[in-house]
Amino acid sequence: MYAENICGVINTIVRNDALAQEIRQDVFIKIWNNAETYSPSKGRFFYVDFEHRS
């Protein structure tokens, strides 16, 4: 669900599909490893705010 959106944001920054996919994988691993710290009351995913700024 979020993978393509996150990859799109990363690809906009790095301009390289393969690198964007590697970074996306690292992002999801970091999210998974820190899942216990997530609080829905603190906000949404970063890419939603990023899209609203462009």
Q: Which residues contact 7 (CB under 8 A, 6 or more apart)?
A: 20, 21, 24
Q: What is the pLDDT of residues 18-50, one digit of tens each?
A: 999 999 999 889 888 988 888 878 766 554 444
Domain definitions of the chain by residue range: 3-53
d(CA 51, CA 54): 6
Q: Is the dihedral of CA 2, 9, 39, 44 positive or negative?
A: negative
Between residues 14 and 46, the one the model is more confident about: 14
Upper half-sphere CA count for residue 54 (Cβ side, 13 Å): 9
**Residue 11 CB partners (closer than 8 Å, separation 6+):** 17, 20
pTM of the prediction?
A: 0.65
